[in-house]
Structure 1
Amino acid sequence: MLKKLTSVFSFVIITLSFNSSYAQRAVNVDSKLKEYIFKADEVVCLEDASNKLTIATISSAAYQSKFIKNINFYPKNYNRSSAYWYRIKVRFKEDVKQNAIIEFFDQITDHIESYLPDTNRKYVKSVAGADLNFAERSYHHKNFEFLINTTKKGEYYYYFRVKSKDQVNVIIVYRTIERFIGYALSEYIMFGFFYGMIVIFSFHNLLMFLAVKRRQYFFYILYILSVGLYEMSTDGIAFQYLWPNHPVWNEYAYGVSLFFLSTFGLIFTKELLHVKIKAPTINKVINVLLGVRFLFFLVCLFYDNDLFKYKFLEAIPLSLCFFTGIYIWWKKQYGPARFFVLGYFFLFMGFIIKIVHILGWSRLFIGNVVGYYSLSFGFLLEMVFLSFAIGDQVRILKRKKENARKQIIKQMQVNADLKDSINKELEIKVAERTKEVQQKSKELQQKNITIEDQNEELLSINALLEQQAEEISRMNILLEKDNITLKTNIEKVTDARVNATELDFDEFSLKYPDRDTCYKFLAELKWENGYACIKCANTTYCNGKVPFNRRCTKCAYEESVLHQTIFENNRIPINKAFYLVYLMYNHKGAISSHKLSEKLGIRQSTCWTYASKIKKVMEERKKDLKGVGKSGWRKLVLDK
């Protein structure tokens, strides 16, 4: 018995808790209610992970208890691979004669199916979403609207199936048609004002750019156009008017526009505030951020466009621009930066308010309208103050230009006065100089007369000198002939002495003083019967790289003048090697290496090595050297 009572008590507790957990509060609607935004506890949801549930299944009694209350201010599709069913409960307290709609706000929602009951309480399906062409919408409006099929007295359940690749805020609003028309007209008028301001600012700055050719105007135009494109993409205006038949572009539009917005915003900051000059370190940081932002954009565009949803990353370039303006205004005392800071302050506040609105806190502080359009208001105020910053910069430049012009005029006046005073001084000096020149001219005339007389005397003297010069020339010719004869006789005498007696090194050096003389002697001795290439037997040659070497004109082989001589691979000066051969020959190989070292100034070991080589050659050619006299040392030079 106790067991049965326990079971019954447990069932009652579970039933009561079940009913209290899933009971949904109905929203009362009457003819006075023009608009109503459904609150968090008035919307229940069900996740469809299979994506296969139908309205018949969802609306059945078995599934009513599976809907759960929304825990956030705005319902969201947390699992983007699933479909989500949302249900609201509406109670018409009386028959409402005016038509009404249900509206969804988030323009990036891919697919929405509405199931609204008609007068027979049968559910009628309507479809909308960002994946459909704009013309397929029931109402040609940027938001998603579904017509309520009946406004008869009674309670009704409205079901909505939401499926989106991006996480969206499911904001459900009830509006009468009259209220919707007034709201839509007001909103589009505001859009016209906002985008008209963008066009006006762009055109104005384009004219300024064409007039003054300053780059900040050009980047400012690109920046505010990027702002306009981003706002049009997020508001759904771009889809409505620019690409209504290409819904796939909605997946890229806001990401691309955000990239251009942050990029041109950073570049405009650099140009307007002269960051490269006033803050080089911050300029480097901006350049790095531009590179990273570009790489991230490429990854989003070509690898995973799902990364475009991380819009909060744009707070980084926004904060950097804001910080740069504060730094240059505060530290560098640059006047236009104060308007720049003020403009970014309002944009920063709009950004914060937008985040608060997305988190669902805007109703507590600022209201839905201000929260929803806060970023647009921030951009508008930013554009105004950035224009003031550019104007202030132009004013400063104009003031500097005016000061420079005044300085130039003042300097020109000083130059004119200086020029007049210099001209007066020059006139006085010219007059004085003219008198001096006239006086000197008279003196020069007198001197010219004297010089003419002297010239006549010089002419007569020159005639005598020419005669003497001719005589000297004849004497020089005769002396040159005598010198040639004398030089020839000296060479003959020297050869005779070399061949007749033993000379010391100084006397020997008169005949063979340097390398070129020795090489010339070897060349004449080596090729006295004519040249023939040892490689190809060609008989024509040209000069080689080393003096007196001969290069074959056919095979280009260069033959050294030392090749096939006793001096090949020689490591001592060639003239000393000549003298060593000369001494060895005159002493018939009997001179000691110590004596050779003393005469030549070369180490005894080196002299011994060369003496041994020469003595060996003399032994081999004993027959050839017999009876040739003192000149026989020359025959030792060439190899057989």
Structure 2
Amino acid sequence: MRLISHNFSQFRSGCTTALFLRTLLLVFLCNSSTFAATGPDTLRVRPNLEELFIEPRFYSVLEDPSAQLTLTDVQQPIHAAAFERGDKVPTSMEHPGAAYWLRLVVRAEGSLAQHWYYELFDSHLNDITYFPATDGGRNSIHTGADQPLTSRRFPYKNFLFRLSLEPNQTQVFYLRLRSNSKTSFLSRLRTEQMLAEHFQAEYGLLGGFYGILLIMVIYNLCLYVFIGEQTYLRYVLYVLSSSLIFLSEDGLGFQYLWPDYPTLNQIIIAGSPILLLLTFSYYARQFLDAPQRLPHYDPWVRAVVLLSVAALLLDAIWLNSGWGFWLYLLPYSMIYYLAIRIWQRGFRPAGYFLLAHAMVAVSVGFLILRKIGIDTFTNTATVYSMNAAFVVEVVVLSYALGEKIKGIKDLTIRAQEKVVKQLRKKHLAQDRLVEQLKRNQELKDQLNTELESLVALRTEELRRQSDTISAQNRELLQANGLLALQSAAIEKLNTDLQRDLQEAKTARVLSKEVNFGEFSQIYPDKEACLTYLANLKWADTFQCRKCGHEKYCDGREPHSRRCTRCRYVESATAYTLLQKCKFSIIKAFYAVFLIYTHKGSYTSQELSRVLDLRQGTCWSFSQKVTEAMRRRRQAPDFDDNEDWTHILLDATGFAEEEGIEADKSVVASSSGKKVVL
């Protein structure tokens, strides 16, 4: 204020009014720049913190409608003053196509033991430029959903940037963001330790989720192959389209399946919801028997679905309005109304259908709120609520599908029971007819004895009765033939059902393949693998390789054993097939399992793809395993039906410590003894 008063007096005495106003405006802009720069709260990173959610008050935003500003431009006073605190502006990108600059002020208090990383939650941001320092953008990182995965410094499904923090210093970081749709600025700071724990938990849950989807796809596909019920095939298509949506939404598809094709990723993001609408209506109408139960309403549902799909394709290809998801409400609402009407008419599986989609409808509501920029309910639970809801839906719909098939089976059984009752009635009528014939014969004999004089008169009448009886006998013979044919058909049906059941059991027994996810459930981590290997290695007894002593205590390394006499330490992997293994022991276990179950014919290329390792490493390891299998087959105690874990204890090439010292890794223990790693 003193500077303003001084300038006012000076310019009033000797300058024009225009020059004074210009100078006053410049001073105001400088003060506004200083206020804007210090406006947002400073993120304070301390050594005892591990993660920090970035609330809107911790960053400031500048909208660039022209998308032409550079880092040098936004640092100029006129643009720096235009930055606004995040809690004073909308928390989403209101104008798709415009560039948004985020300014983040971070202060590192004390010396930091770990590196800090900045994570953006939305994996659909089209263009991102991260400026780790205010150096004009020389060390900037340019990435985004329109770029291949290799453009990211860290190959992660979300955008991750490392913050170069200096102890006891305040630093300013800038991000330039662009998106073709409305999205939020949600982000978080994490240490590398917390980031690793988060990766393990998140990928473990997502792996379990996609494992459940894969199991349901295979299970229902097998049911379709063996039973031939078309509902199972439609359900498989619905689950596959849902999986495509989840892979595009959480970014795992771009990370693992099509990392070099960002255009394909954008096509899948835009087209998978449309495909889901088609497959869901295709499955729901068949599951609810809509053409038979509501023949007048079902054609309207089919027509609305097709028109909605056409409108969604038009919006995705040409219009790009950003409001296309509202077109999903009408067809989905009509399908739900169809299910309610059918459930009210007594079709029990329709109730399970409504129950299964109740949670899905809630999770879709959360998704719509995020799409239109309302982040009030945005948290970890609501973001992944659709995954949990879909798991519940898959389980309930599978049960409902089984109930429907069971209902069809019950109807068939009741129809057969009706046929059996009719046959019993026919047999009863035949018995009554036979009894009547016997009585007639008795009456005839009695009349012949008593009324011999009337024989001539009654002969013609008896002949007519005989003709009637012959006709009835022919009808009985035809009925007996039909009964025989029906009995043969029933017997053939029972034989076919028993044969199909036996084939299904044989196919299930012969299926021995397990994927890495299922194998990881048996050996989930390194601790489990080492425990199993140690128990297998020292199953009989422990004997020191140096002095032959049999008593031991635990070594420093997990599951290692130290001789109590000479203090020689031997690890669980020493003198086994996994000694000197340079990659994860879990992957090594799975590699041994695959090579052994395929009798050594598993290629190194396929092993490299399954384990995500270099082909050279896989080839070397597969040679070692194949050689161990060959030696095992030559062993006198070899059994063709023995387990694959027997070759883990193959110690050839490691038994003589003095002769092959170059193939071992020896480190000094704290007591001065040598430990075999």
Relative to structure 1, the CA distance from residue 214 to residue 375 in structure 2 (aligned partners, 3 Å threshold; closer, same or farther) is same
Q: Which amino acid aligns with 2:367?
A: K
Relative to structure 1, the CA distance from residue 48 to residue 277 in structure 2 (aligned partners, 3 Å threshold; closer, same or farther) is same
Which residue of 2 is the match for residue 85 of structure 1?
101
Relative to structure 1, the CA distance from residue 295 to residue 124 in structure 2 (aligned partners, 3 Å threshold; closer, same or farther) is same
Of the three residues 358, 383, 392, the one matched with 2:394 is 383
Q: Which amino acid aligns with 2:359?
A: F
Of the three residues 83, 106, 111, the one matched with 1:95 is 111
- Aligned 8 A contact 1:40 1:74 in 2: no
Which residue of 2 is the match for residue 163 of structure 1?
178
Moved more, 178-187 or 41-50: 41-50
Taking the TM superposition and a 5 Å limit, the aligned residue runs for 1:81-160 are 81-117=97-133, 124-160=139-175
Moved more, 188-197 or 402-411: 402-411
Matched, 1:338 2:351: yes
Relative to structure 1, the CA distance from residue 27 to residue 2 in structure 2 (aligned partners, 3 Å threshold; closer, same or farther) is closer
Q: Match of 1:142, SS?
A: coil
**CA–CA distance in structure 2, aligned partners of residues 236 and 309 of structure 1:** 22
Relative to structure 1, the CA distance from residue 339 to residue 199 in structure 2 (aligned partners, 3 Å threshold; closer, same or farther) is same
Which residue of 1 is the match for residue 70 of structure 2?
54
Of the three residues 388, 392, 395, the one matched with 2:403 is 392
Shift in Å, 1:54: 2.2
Which residue of 1 is the match for residue 242 of structure 2?
227
Which residue of 2 is the match for residue 273 of structure 1?
288
Q: Match of 2:111, SS?
A: coil
Relative to structure 1, the CA distance from residue 49 to residue 255 in structure 2 (aligned partners, 3 Å threshold; closer, same or farther) is closer
Which residue of 1 is the match for residue 672 of structure 2?
none
Shift in Å, 1:426: 6.1
- Aligned 8 A contact 1:74 1:170 in 2: no
Q: Which amino acid aligns with 1:416?
A: H
Taking the TM superposition and a 5 Å limit, the aligned residue runs for 1:316-331 are 316-330=330-344
Q: Which amino acid aligns with 1:69?
A: R
Q: Match of 2:193, SS?
A: helix
**CA–CA distance in structure 2, aligned partners of residues 373 and 74 of structure 1:** 24
Moved more, 422-431 or 25-34: 422-431
In the TM superposition, what whole-angstrom CA distance separates every residue of 1:512-567 from its partner, at most 9, and x where no partner exists?
xxxxxxxxxxxxxxxxxxxxxxxxxxxxxxxxxxxxxxxxxxxxxxxxxxxxxxxx
Relative to structure 1, the CA distance from residue 412 to residue 165 in structure 2 (aligned partners, 3 Å threshold; closer, same or farther) is same
Taking the TM superposition and a 5 Å limit, the aligned residue runs for 1:171-190 are 171-190=186-205
In the TM superposition, what whole-angstrom CA distance separates every residue of 1:587-625 from its partner, at most 9, and x where no partner exists?
xxxxxxxxxxxxxxxxxxxxxxxxxxxxxxxxxxxxxxx
- Aligned 8 A contact 1:99 1:151 in 2: no
Shift in Å, 1:431: 11
TM-score by length of 2: 0.58
Q: Match of 1:186, SS?
A: helix
Q: Which amino acid aligns with 1:344?
A: H
Which residue of 2 is the match for residue 211 of structure 1?
226
Which residue of 2 is the match for residue 449 of structure 1?
none
Of the three residues 314, 319, 325, the one matched with 2:328 is 314
Q: Please provide the CA RMSD for this pair.
A: 3.6
TM-score by length of 1: 0.61
**CA–CA distance in structure 2, aligned partners of residues 256 and 268 of structure 1:** 18
Relative to structure 1, the CA distance from residue 305 to residue 190 in structure 2 (aligned partners, 3 Å threshold; closer, same or farther) is farther
Taking the TM superposition and a 5 Å limit, the aligned residue runs for 1:36-55 are 36-55=52-71
**CA–CA distance in structure 1, aligned partners of residues 194 and 428 of structure 2:** 80
Q: Which amino acid aligns with 2:114?
A: Q
In the TM superposition, what whole-angstrom CA distance separates every residue of 1:275-328 from its partner, at most 9, and x where no partner exists?
223223431321121220232244246x41735762243233332222222222
Q: Match of 1:280, SS?
A: coil
Larger radius of gyration: 1
Moved more, 397-406 or 90-99: 397-406
Shift in Å, 1:80: 2.9
Which residue of 1 is the match for residue 270 of structure 2?
255
Q: Match of 2:183, SS?
A: coil
Q: Which amino acid aligns with 2:183?
A: V
Q: Which amino acid aligns with 2:357?
A: Y
Of the three residues 83, 86, 89, the one matched with 1:70 is 86
**CA–CA distance in structure 2, aligned partners of residues 262 and 327 of structure 1:** 20
Relative to structure 1, the CA distance from residue 50 to residue 14 in structure 2 (aligned partners, 3 Å threshold; closer, same or farther) is closer
Relative to structure 1, the CA distance from residue 379 to residue 282 in structure 2 (aligned partners, 3 Å threshold; closer, same or farther) is farther
Matched, 1:373 2:384: yes
Which residue of 1 is the match for residue 565 of structure 2?
none
Shift in Å, 1:24: 2.0
- Aligned 8 A contact 1:73 1:359 in 2: no
Shift in Å, 1:195: 1.2
Q: Which amino acid aligns with 1:292?
A: L
- Aligned 8 A contact 1:116 1:124 in 2: yes
Q: Match of 1:165, SS?
A: coil
In the TM superposition, what whole-angstrom CA distance separates every residue of 1:312-352 from its partner, at most 9, and x where no partner exists?
4323333222222222223x122111111111211111112
Which residue of 2 is the match for residue 419 of structure 1?
430
- Aligned 8 A contact 1:353 1:362 in 2: no
Q: Match of 1:124, SS?
A: coil
- Aligned 8 A contact 1:27 1:42 in 2: yes
**CA–CA distance in structure 1, aligned partners of residues 49 and 231 of structure 2:** 51
- Aligned 8 A contact 2:148 2:262 in 1: yes
Of the three residues 399, 403, 418, the one matched with 1:407 is 418
**CA–CA distance in structure 2, aligned partners of residues 205 and 87 of structure 1:** 51
Shift in Å, 1:114: 0.4
In the TM superposition, what whole-angstrom CA distance separates every residue of 1:390-418 from its partner, at most 9, and x where no partner exists?
12212322222232233333332222233
Which residue of 2 is the match for residue 351 of structure 1?
364
Shift in Å, 1:69: 2.5
- Aligned 8 A contact 1:344 1:382 in 2: yes
**CA–CA distance in structure 2, aligned partners of residues 290 and 160 of structure 1:** 41
**CA–CA distance in structure 2, aligned partners of residues 210 and 421 of structure 1:** 49
Q: Match of 2:164, SS?
A: coil
- Aligned 8 A contact 1:34 1:175 in 2: yes
Q: Which amino acid aligns with 1:55?
A: L
Relative to structure 1, the CA distance from residue 185 to residue 96 in structure 2 (aligned partners, 3 Å threshold; closer, same or farther) is same
- Aligned 8 A contact 2:127 2:178 in 1: yes
Q: Which amino acid aligns with 1:258?
A: P
Q: Match of 1:160, SS?
A: strand
Relative to structure 1, the CA distance from residue 56 to residue 21 in structure 2 (aligned partners, 3 Å threshold; closer, same or farther) is closer
- Aligned 8 A contact 2:92 2:182 in 1: yes
Q: Match of 2:258, SS?
A: coil
Which residue of 2 is the match for residue 285 of structure 1?
300
Q: Match of 1:78, SS?
A: coil
Which residue of 2 is the match for residue 580 of structure 1?
none
Relative to structure 1, the CA distance from residue 235 to residue 375 in structure 2 (aligned partners, 3 Å threshold; closer, same or farther) is same
**CA–CA distance in structure 2, aligned partners of residues 16 and 135 of structure 1:** 43
**CA–CA distance in structure 1, aligned partners of residues 433 and 354 of structure 2:** 55
Relative to structure 1, the CA distance from residue 130 to residue 21 in structure 2 (aligned partners, 3 Å threshold; closer, same or farther) is closer
Q: How many residues align?
A: 436
Q: Which amino acid aligns with 1:317?
A: P
**CA–CA distance in structure 1, aligned partners of residues 175 and 65 of structure 2:** 16
Q: Percent of pairs identical after alignment?
A: 22
Relative to structure 1, the CA distance from residue 35 to residue 2 in structure 2 (aligned partners, 3 Å threshold; closer, same or farther) is closer
Q: Which amino acid aligns with 2:352?
A: F
Matched, 1:243 2:254: no
Which residue of 1 is the match for residue 40 of structure 2?
24
Relative to structure 1, the CA distance from residue 387 to residue 287 in structure 2 (aligned partners, 3 Å threshold; closer, same or farther) is same
Shift in Å, 1:29: 0.8
Relative to structure 1, the CA distance from residue 415 to residue 74 in structure 2 (aligned partners, 3 Å threshold; closer, same or farther) is farther
Task: In structure 2, list runs of 5 or more residues that go unmatched.
Answer: 13-19, 449-454, 464-677
